[in-house]
Structure 1
Amino acid sequence: MPSDGILSPLAQPGFRRYFVGQVITNVGTWFQNLALSLVVLDATGSAQALGGVTFAQFLPILLLSIHAGRVVDRVSPRTVLMIGAALSAVVVSSLALVVSAEAPSLLVIYGLIACLGAVNAFERIAAQAIIRSLVSVDRLGRAVSLSTITVAAGRSVGPGLAGLLFQAAGPVVCLLANAVSFVLVFVLMLFVHPREERLARRVDPGSGELGSLLQDRSLRLLLVVNAVIALLALNLNIVLTSMVALTFEGSATSVGLNHALNAVGAVAGGLVATALPKVSTGALAAGCALLGATLFASTVPDTLAAFLAVAPVLGLGFGFYMAVVNAVAQAAAPAQAVGRVMALMMLGNVGMAPFGGLISGWVIDRTSGRTSLLLGAAVALTCAFAVALHTLRRGENRLDARTDHESEL
């Protein structure tokens, strides 16, 4: 495998094992999501009850993400991932036991999902923070871009596999399959050996508090762009589902196909981002612009077939943007504060998602899915202009300078 190829980070054994583990756990999560959704709907017949699953899952992440970032900066991310995988396997196995009952308790399900969400708050940040110690600095941008592909890869194959397993064996087996995925991640992490000792000698572990981090104007802009786009442009689950089901009166199969095609495009977008020669805010401006352009392109089709045809195009823009914004965040973070910076990024993504969903739903109910897509396109293009203007005013930004400096250490 060429040392400078887009897949070059996979040549490093530690990153390769981490990457495989992330693909496995993202696919496994779909087994759990589908099983719990159908169990709750079957038990209650209520979409509001199903919304409670999402609330129970994400509330702990909102409450604990900043604390989790501090912990990850002080404890080995590998240790956090291994403990998280073990705890997640136990919690998901407990969910399988509860679901196996003749009349599963909804409150117990919510409680266990909240416990899993608390563990996920630490796992998600550790999964981002560990990348820096698994690859050389010149491969960091590509490694981060590749890591974002694991989510899209899970979304492209996970729902289909989960549906087949649910039909064949039921929800308990689906949940146990996810528990096994966490066990596999734990085993893989046993053979991952980060370069944390070398990093620890170069930085002051007590520095990098949030106040001092937010004094960096480039980082502040990045965090604002991340939050605004998550709020108004990334509510694709709601918007795309509404476009297929309401605008084009498509079937559930068409909805699933649209999301699968979108995920395939997202994988391609992540690979395109991996091919970028360096990480910069210029790349972030391009990512915002591409996201805006593909959101706009999705408003053009007037038939379901045409809308499905452009689904991979929107996925391309989404995957490229997500890969770039995470790579720029990694480059912007001081080595001693990667966990806290990624916690702020996750807070922007996860924290805005529920509010963004409400806004998108309101816009769609009163106008149409196309209007929501146009709003997202306008926001993404405005962010692209703001980032480009910031880059021009300050020259090729300090993120590049910091990355270049670290490569010399």
Structure 2
Amino acid sequence: MGAFEPLRQRGFALFFAGQVVSNVGTWFQNLALQLVVLAATGSAQALSGVTVGQFLPILVWGVLAGRLADRVRPRTILLVTSALAAAVAASLGVVVAAEEPDLILIYAGVGALGTVQTFERIAAQTIIFELVGPASLSRAVSISTIALAAARSIGPGLAGIAFAQLGAPACMLANAASFALVGISLLLIRPKSLHPRPVAGSESVRAGDLLRDRSVSTLLLVNVVVALFAMNFGLVLTATVDLTYGADAQAVGLAHSLNAVGAVVGGGLAAMLPRVGVRSLVPATAAFGIALLLTAGAPTLALFLLAGPLLGLAIGYYQGVVNSAAQSSARPEAIGRVMSLVTLGSYGMVPFGGLLMGWVIDASSGRMSLAIGGLAALACGAFVAVRVPRRP
């Protein structure tokens, strides 16, 4: 079975295309909001408020979203969230169109969109089983991470140009349109083509049961630490290019795009692995840590951009491994709950990491925040090596 075999299935191909479009639109929004806030305040700490509004709702609603995804068909949830997200994104376009945008309204709009996307993210992870079935699940999960990377390879560059030429409101409307297109792609997926997945009727698999499993608890802990210290790239890359190197919006977009090119390759490498387990995190976190430290050592913008694809490759490989290992450990009827715990770690820590790294950048530099993330990733690799024994 080829690494990209899941893309031959019509439903998964439509879903993948919709995710790429949605994430491209999200980059239009995120880049525009980041630059609007930086222009108004000149502070990475203020910029971290956007990150908090975007990801804090995951801590509040993540567990509920996981339970819902195990009781309601994910396709239904995604149809609702795409419509709601389009409406909220359009309203943000109105807010940033003001001559002096109100930061409180920006934070509120981002928070509302973050709430909707909490349910969307977990349902998007849960629907993969129904799209491809158990035989192709691990590869399909790794491939789905490529949608994020592919969007990052396209979105930031286009967003930088759109922001410079058309302004922030146009970027918000582009994001709203991307959510509408996601809804259309979901409507094209025939419900009868979906693989049956048992619907949870009882709490047969509880969070406590998962946390008592040594391998799963290790994965969840590593996921939290890496997310807290090393995965705040929306903030760190933008602030480093803008504040540390003093470059413009198009350079910010180029930094994200170069990073994403490598992430596409990294996700593809993860999809080629014949078997993914928690032990696979040892090389994944080690490579991620080394790439972060190399990027942190770049003394000039040119070298920083040159290191972008290498860092992206490490990010894509790590994300593919951690998501595949998590889904492989879940029973079909509990995938929503398992992925809600992973999502709580991956995204729920982002607000705290954003505040922490915003403070580090204001006190030192973006390069220092990258170095901290690199050391944290290396420590996580050593932790997994010690805690999860090698199987014979």
- Alignment TM-score > 0.5, same fold: yes
Letter in 1 for 2:111: A
Letter in 2 for 1:93: A
Q: How many residues align?
A: 389
| 1:307-322 correspondence to structure 2 within 5 Å | 307-322=304-319
> How much does 1:386 deviate?
2.5
Alignment-derived partner of residue 88 in structure 1: 85
> How much does 1:89 deviate?
1.6
Say yes or no: does 1:147 pair with 2:144.
yes
Shifted more, 175-184 versus 159-168: the winner is 159-168
Alignment-derived partner of residue 163 in structure 1: 160
Unaligned residue ranges in structure 2 (runs of 5+)? none
Alignment-derived partner of residue 196 in structure 2: 198
Shifted more, 11-20 versus 357-366: the winner is 357-366
Alignment-derived partner of residue 78 in structure 1: 75
Q: Percentage identity across aligned positions?
A: 51
Alignment-derived partner of residue 324 in structure 1: 321
> How much does 1:283 deviate?
2.0
1:113-151 Cα shifts (integer Å, max 9, x gaps): 322211111001101111111113232121111111111
Shifted more, 253-262 versus 70-79: the winner is 253-262
Of 278, 281, 284, which aligns to 1:281? 278
1:302-323 Cα shifts (integer Å, max 9, x gaps): 4443332222111111110011
Alignment-derived partner of residue 126 in structure 1: 123
CA contact (8 A) 1:269 1:319 kept: yes
Q: 1:237 to 1:216 in 2, by over 3 A?
A: same
3-state SS of 2:281 partner: helix
User: In structure 2, how many angstroms separate the alpha carbons of the residues matched to 1:31 and 1:374?
Assistant: 28
Alignment-derived partner of residue 218 in structure 1: 215
TM-score by length of 2: 0.88
Of 88, 108, 121, which aligns to 1:111? 108
Alignment-derived partner of residue 268 in structure 2: 271
> How much does 1:212 deviate?
2.1
Alignment-derived partner of residue 405 in structure 1: none
1:357-402 Cα shifts (integer Å, max 9, x gaps): 3443455566665554443333222222232334426x26xxxxxx
Q: 1:291 to 1:73 in 2, by over 3 A?
A: same
Letter in 1 for 2:385: A
1:6-44 Cα shifts (integer Å, max 9, x gaps): 2111001111000000000000112222344455566x5
| 1:8-407 correspondence to structure 2 within 5 Å | 8-39=5-36, 44-45=40-41, 47=43, 50-100=47-97, 106-193=103-190, 198-200=196-198, 205-241=202-238, 244=241, 249=245, 251-252=247-248, 253-363=250-360, 369=366, 371-392=368-389, 395=391
Larger radius of gyration: 1
User: In structure 2, how many angstroms separate the alpha carbons of the residues matched to 1:225 and 1:334?
Assistant: 21
Higher relative contact order (CA 8 A, sep 6+): 2
CA contact (8 A) 1:205 1:336 kept: no
User: In structure 2, how many angstroms separate the alpha carbons of the residues matched to 1:145 and 1:302?
Assistant: 33
3-state SS of 2:307 partner: helix
CA contact (8 A) 1:219 1:332 kept: yes
Letter in 2 for 1:154: A
User: In structure 2, how many angstroms separate the alpha carbons of the residues matched to 1:344 and 1:271?
Assistant: 24
1:245-282 Cα shifts (integer Å, max 9, x gaps): 666x4523544433321111111111111111122223
User: In structure 2, how many angstroms separate the alpha carbons of the residues matched to 1:362 and 1:64?
Assistant: 27
> How much does 1:67 deviate?
1.0
1:135-168 Cα shifts (integer Å, max 9, x gaps): 1323212111111111122222112222333344
Letter in 2 for 1:331: S
User: In structure 1, how many angstroms separate the alpha carbons of the residues matched to 2:242 and 2:177?
Assistant: 34
Alignment-derived partner of residue 5 in structure 1: 2
Q: 1:365 to 1:14 in 2, by over 3 A?
A: same
